[in-house]
Amino acid sequence: MRGFVYSAHPVRVVFGSGTVAQVREEVARLGGKRVLLLSGPSVRDAAQPVRDALGPLLAAEFDGAAMHTPVEVTGQALEVLAEHEADCLVAIGGGSTTGLAKALAVRTDLPQVILPTTYAGSEVTPVLGETDNGRKTTRSSPAILPETVIYDVDLTLGLPVAVSVTSGVNAMAHAVEALYAPQANPIVDGMALDAITRIARSLPALVDDPSDVDARADLLQAAWLAGTCLATVGMGLHHKLCHTLGGSFDLPHAETHTVILPHVMAYNAPAATEVMTRIAAALGTTDAPSGVHDLVVRCGGPTSLRELGMSLDDVPHAAELATAKPYPNPRELTREGIEDLLRQAWHGTRPG
């Protein structure tokens, strides 16, 4: 028997099609009267239904959200917020826009309503990663956790297929690592396995037809479940390695997760055999690491660090950084082992 401690994060979730229409009601529920609407360059148009639904509650807009939440962008948004005396934050976009909302909330204690358009899952976590002078730091606090998340599948229909695939695998990575986390528990296990099944069946369907609303809804629900896993238990080697590759080698977030996941699974498999069997069953395959690799290939996603622009010469340094401090992981972390993993990932070798 394995004991556990379970603690949930209180987020109100509104899920469906056309749910953007409820944003005004949800803002009012939080006592908001003057909204600052946050977005990024590629969701400016997708934000129109949010503007329409907010009506007179919309006080100001800031559409400069950027990857990795640079503090200078947060500073600019804070000025807009103060100038318009906003009392509530509404954000539409991916993890980058959610990051900006969280950065503002932790500085002002204003409530947040998030409308996600990717599958990163940040909207349900109390974690914020910020960059200052190129240095990324991460912190966690209840003030960072958004109060309300409105998932509207209609807002995700325009997300390009390539981004949908890598973002979907990013969500799968949260679910995979939750299953072998030291804090693993029955609720998180159930959410993680359901998320994996939904991602495995919805990604090929939406690659074949990006306007397939049922596939998009399946994937969006998986994003919520996987994000909740990420918020509830600790992550292992995969997230550590992706954090290192993103932070120190400037590799793109979701693409890096997509390339690395099958290789970390293959590395951890000998020390997590039961978990890998459950993941394989959820994927509808017999071997979990190669099953994820095959899914990525089927969906046209990236499979090698080489195609993401990383140099093979950087592998030893990356392995050194990723093993500098110990952290929980099913299999012991050795520098040689991680170097070998990264070499396989650089070449894009099929695991198994």
40 binds ligand NAD (CB under 6 A): yes
DSSP label at 57? G
CB of 157 to ligand NAD, least distance (A): 8
Task: State which residue, 42 or 349, has the beta carbon closest to ligand NAD.
Answer: 42
CB of 227 to ligand NAD, least distance (A): 7
Q: How far apart are CA 9 and CA 98, in angstroms?
A: 17
By CB under 6 A, name the one of 11, 20, 36, 46 that touches ligand NAD: 46
121 binds ligand NAD (CB under 6 A): yes
122 binds ligand NAD (CB under 6 A): yes
Parallel, antiparallel, or unpaired for β 88-93 and 112-116?
A: parallel
Applying CB under 6 A, what is the total number of residues that bind ligand NAD? 30
Q: How far apart are CA 144 and CA 32, in angstroms?
A: 17
Strand-pairing partners, residue 149, are: 13, 114
By CB under 6 A, name the one of 118, 164, 244, 258 that touches ligand NAD: 118
Which residues, at least 6 apart from 104, have a Cβ–Cβ distance to it below 8 Å? Answer: 36, 38, 74, 77, 78, 81, 89, 110
Other CB atoms closer than 10 Å to residue 281's CB: what's the count? 14
By CB under 6 A, name the one of 75, 158, 270, 284 that touches ligand NAD: 158
Which residues, at least 6 apart from 304, have a Cβ–Cβ distance to it below 8 Å? Answer: 259, 345, 346, 347, 348
Backbone angles phi, psi at 348, to 5 degrees: 80, 30
Tell me if 331 sits within 8 A of 270, measured CB to CB. Answer: yes
Strand-pairing partners, residue 140, are: 127
329 binds ligand NAD (CB under 6 A): no
143 binds ligand NAD (CB under 6 A): no
51 binds ligand NAD (CB under 6 A): no
CB of 35 to ligand NAD, least distance (A): 20
Task: State which residue, 42 or 285, has the beta carbon closest to ligand NAD.
Answer: 42
- From 156-164, 190-198, 272-280, 292-300, give the range in contact with ligand NAD by CB under 6 A: 156-164
254 binds ligand NAD (CB under 6 A): yes
Task: State which residue, 19 or 118, has the beta carbon closest to ligand NAD.
Answer: 118
Closest by CA to 308, choosing from 267, 349, 351, 257, is 257
Two structure tokens written together for 286: 């017999």
120 binds ligand NAD (CB under 6 A): yes
Residues making contact with ligand NAD (CB under 6 A): 40, 42-43, 46, 67-68, 93-97, 99, 117-118, 120-122, 125, 127-129, 158-160, 163, 167, 170, 230, 253-254
